[in-house]
Amino acid sequence: MRAGTRERQMISGLAGRLTNLQPKTPAQVSLLGFMAGALHALDRAAQLNYADARAQPDREHFAAEFRTAIKAVARRRGRPNAWLAGFYLDSALMRLAALNTRLNKVLGTGDDRIHVVRRIVNSLKHDPDAHIARGWRLRFTRTNVHHSCAGGRVARSLSAIRLADALRTSALGVRDMRIMLVIVTLAIVLPWHIKPAVQQEAIPFVGCPADVQGEDVPPPQGKPKVVALDAPTARQIAYYQAGDNAGVFAPRRWHCRAWAGSTGGSIVVSSASLDSASLEGRVRSHAVEMHFLDGGTSGRFPLAKYASRLFPKMAAAFIERVKSESIAPPSDFERGPYTTDSVRYLDTFVAEFATPANTIGLGTEGDLAPSQDPIRGVVVMSDAYTTEPGMSIIRVRLGPSMGRVASAILRLNTECMRKSGSC
């Protein structure tokens, strides 16, 4: 999950509780300053949509991200948002740990209720491979605490905190500072909600009609797909497939159609009817598209174009080989990334992207046209070091009301794509 508006609202509310404090002594001013810094850092991390997944890092992805950040500093350019979000969260954790130590001195206590943060900060200070080797048990995002057992435990613990600290009230309101510290820390570290139980769920199979090099192919029959997913989300998803080609997970009870040719193939699942044999670039409804490219056929040309946008260095040999055929203009392989797209690398040859609403980008290079909703997707280049690589591209546009389903669909399809493109 990613932090965002709800987390910023929570942080804003917590900051509001400190606005009436009037620091007088040097210690009081220092404490208030550190809390202000912690809240600012948390707010910036949420504003930049800090992802909880960063707590369990991918070493290669982080190495690439850190190099990009260093280059940006050297060139005086903007830093990657994902790196900045992590930077601000690290800053907040360090300030929270320091605040706990200082509050213990002011209050004459040995409180260690935020031991998770303390251990993380100690690791950052002393371990050469801090965070990267083992990851953290850390969560930023939250939901309503009133609807879960976990939320109840948090509420009860906060009541106890208020009662205990009421005995140590000071003129400054250091008691409020202690309450703030624990609330903020719990908001980061503890899961504030019970996620739906993940279990093995059967996803129904849906056969799709296909156009294979101009010939109509009837929908196939198949067995349900069993996946690890919570039941409420699973009930909204189906697995669509045409012919012998790989299929795609998409919302249940939608319309589907597939195409296949010498370059590869694609399958589109849409909330609107798909009654045309060719809909390239004209699907404006909510939809999911899976696109396959074969680098051993004429599909090598569009594959090399995508690779030049996303993997120009790692796929350089393949790109140059296709370019040297002099069939397509050299400029086709020198376009670089779309400036309006956001791209995050999950692995050497796996890239996650987002194309904003009403914008041309990776999301609209297939069958989906720009619309009022953004498009999220993932590109996987397989057998990348061979002479005949392949590529799978998933594009998802479901609208804001289907965020959980969209995330599940992206995850399920990406897992399939990374297994040589098929489930």
Mean pLDDT of 258-264: 90
Q: What is the pLDDT of residues 99-133, one digit of tens each?
A: 777 777 766 666 666 666 777 778 778 878 776 76
User: Over 90: is that where the pLDDT of 269 sits?
Assistant: yes
What's the pTM? Answer: 0.56
Supply 410's token pair. 């992206």
Q: How confident is residue 149, by pLDDT bands cut at 50, 70 and 90?
A: very low
- Residue 264 makes CB contacts below 8 A (sequence gap 6+) with 291, 292, 293, 294, 297, 299
CA distances from 108 to 32, 94, 101, 173 (A): 18, 21, 10, 15
- Output the pLDDT for position 164: 32
Domain-wise residue ranges, the chain: 5-189, 198-418
Q: Is the predicted pLDDT of residue 156 greater than 50, yes or no?
A: no
- The whole-number pLDDT of residue 214 equals 81
**Statement: residue 419 has pLDDT above 70:** yes
DSSP string across 48-61: TT-BGGGGS--HHH
Q: What is the pLDDT of residue 302?
A: 94
pLDDT score of 135:
65
∠ CA 410-228-255, nearest 5°, is: 50
| C-alpha closest to that of 215 among 253, 190, 243, 189 | 243
322 or 50: which leads in pLDDT: 322
Distance CA 306, CA 298 (A): 14
Tell me, what's the pLDDT at 325? 92
Give the residue-averaged pLDDT of 46-60: 78
79-93, 159-173, 194-208 — which one is most confidently predicted on average? 79-93
For 203-229, b where at least 16 C-beta lie within 10 A, e where not — what string? bbbbbbbbbbeeeebebbeeeebebeb
Yes or no: say if 342 and 352 are a contact pair by the CB < 8 Å rule. Answer: no
Could you tell me the two tokens for 5? 């508006």
Give tens-digit pLDDT for 325-382.
999 888 888 888 899 999 999 889 999 999 999 999 999 999 999 999 999 999 999 9
pLDDT confidence tier of residue 150, bands split at 50, 70 and 90: very low
pLDDT in tens, 6-31: 777 777 777 776 666 667 778 777 87
> Residue 41 — pLDDT band, cuts 50, 70, 90?
confident
Q: What is the pLDDT of residue 244?
A: 76
- From CA 230, how far away is CA 411, in angstroms rounded? 13
Are the CB atoms for 283 and 367 separated by under 8 Å? yes
Cα gap 343→119, rounded to integer Å: 32
Give the Cα separation of 102 and 15 in Å (integer): 19
Q: If pLDDT is split at 50, 70 and 90, which confidence band does 196 have?
A: low
Mean residue pLDDT of the chain comes to 79
Name the residue with higher pLDDT: 395 or 156: 395
pLDDT 10s digits, 293-320: 999 999 999 999 999 999 999 999 999 9
pLDDT, residue 82, reads 86
Average pLDDT over residues 258-276: 88
Contacts of 142 (CB under 8 A, 6+ apart): 6, 7, 10, 187, 191, 192, 193
Phi-psi bin for 306: left (phi > 0), alpha (psi -120 to 50), beta?
A: alpha
